[in-house]
Amino acid sequence: MGEQPIFSTRAHVFQIDPNTKKNWVPTSKHAVTVSYFYDSTRNVYRIISLDGSKAIINSTITPNMTFTKTSQKFGQWADSRANTVYGLGFSSEHHLSKFAEKFQEFKEAARLAKEKSQEKMELTSTPSQESAGGDLQSPLTPESINGTDDERTPDMTQNSEPRAEPTQNALPFSHSSAISKHWEAELATLKGNNAKLTAALLESTANVKQWKQQLAAYQEEAERLHKRVTELECVSSQANAVHTHKTELNQTIQELEETLKVKEEEIERLKQEIDNARELQEQRDSLTQKLQEVEIRNKDLEGQLSDLEQRLEKSQNEQEAFRNNLKTLLEILDGKIFELTELRDNLAKLLECS
């Protein structure tokens, strides 16, 4: 009677950060045993995991729960009774798929059990309440702890928008304006690329730090496994068991070494991306300097244009004054000519009379 384990596997256990509700917090330093238990007396399925003598998972499966695969080796489910979200990192996709199948199977069994219980209550007309997830559980014996880390990559996103640059509009210097617009377009493109690369760089830096921590954990786990292999080889009375355990440990070590190689290659790739981002940053700075020089030159040209316009306006005013003076002089000259003409006519008449 009581609870009995019906399926067990090994995985790294995580819980969602209660403050941010975004980041995962590891609750086990290495892989631990995660088991499905069935309580025949209460007809309840639970997921239980122990780290030493501490229960790090105690989740009762209900029909409204859902197990979600978020990557090839990572899955999660929400427990409303515990007010948290559990995450499991497996060593392979096969183990994750098997755990998910069992979750769905026991979830369906819990649903059927609940329906039968409701039918029985309707027949007997006896009200009952479903037991809470915080009930006392039967004691469990902790198992030995061995395993490998799994990959967790929290998302980081950063957005940046390029600042709009002022444009120049000097018609007499269209060639300089065209050059300025060209550099502005180039700068805007580089700023967009730089924003994307900056976001990728920040995310890559965070991933590198996290992977370095995982690599250190892998190395410690490998050293511990090597020591364990050495200890097992010294036990001659259990040669067959030692040989089998040694084979499993060697396979685990090989998996860890392959994982280390993959992580090292990923780190090299990220370093190359960082170098490329730095080169693009240098190009952006160079183009920004050139654009500033073009803007300074345009300001000088605008100053020259303004000076020329003032001179032109002054010349036009002088010409207008000269025209007015000339017009006045012509009017005076016309009057004098008219007077001389009258004087000539009078003299001619006087001559004729005399």
CATH of the domain at 103: 2.30.29.30
H helix count then E strand count, the chain: 3, 8
- Percent over 90 (pLDDT), the chain: 43
User: Considering the domain boundaries, does residue 306 fall inside one?
Assistant: no
User: Considering the domain boundaries, does residue 198 fall inside one?
Assistant: no
pLDDT score for 165: 34
Confidence of residue 236 (pLDDT cuts 50, 70, 90): low
Sign of CA dihedral 112, 115, 121, 127: positive
Q: Is the pLDDT of residue 142 over 50?
A: no
292-310 pLDDT, tens digit per residue, is: 999 999 999 999 999 999 9
∠220-267-89 over CA atoms, to 5°?
A: 55
Mean pLDDT, range 29-37, rounded to an integer: 92
For the chain, the C-alpha Rg in angstroms (whole number) is 44
User: Considering the domain boundaries, does residue 243 fall inside one?
Assistant: no
Ranges of beta strands (E only) in 30-72 are 32-39, 44-51, 54-60, 68-69
pLDDT score for 247: 82
Structural domain total, the chain:
1
The tokens for 262 are 């993959």
Q: Is the pLDDT of residue 108 over 70?
A: yes
Confidence of residue 137 (pLDDT cuts 50, 70, 90): very low
User: Considering the domain boundaries, does residue 75 fall inside one?
Assistant: yes
Say if residues 20 and 97 touch (Cβ distance below 8 Å): no
pLDDT score for 168: 39
The set of residues, in sequence order, having a beta carbon less than 8 Å from that of 226 and lying 6+ positions away, is: 253
pLDDT score for 101: 94
Q: Is the pLDDT of residue 124 over 70?
A: no
User: Considering the domain boundaries, does residue 85 fall inside one?
Assistant: yes
Mean pLDDT, range 346-350, rounded to an integer: 91
User: Considering the domain boundaries, does residue 343 fall inside one?
Assistant: no
User: Considering the domain boundaries, does residue 282 fall inside one?
Assistant: no
Mean pLDDT of the chain: 79
pLDDT score for 154: 34
47-105 pLDDT, tens digit per residue, is: 999 988 889 999 999 999 999 999 999 999 999 888 899 999 999 999 999 999 999 99
Sign of CA dihedral 48, 255, 209, 75: negative
Confidence of residue 152 (pLDDT cuts 50, 70, 90): very low
Of 115 and 128, the one with more pLDDT? 115
Rounded CA gap, 116 and 142, in Å? 33
Q: Bridge partners of 59?
A: 47
Of 273 and 120, the one with more pLDDT? 273
Q: Is the pLDDT of residue 1 over 60?
A: no
User: Considering the domain boundaries, does residue 47 fall inside one?
Assistant: yes
- DSSP letter (8 states) at residue 80: T
- Percent over 70 (pLDDT), the chain: 81
Mean pLDDT, range 209-222, rounded to an integer: 76
| Structural domain for 30, as ranges | 5-119
Q: Which helix (H) or strand (E) holds 178?
A: helix 174-234
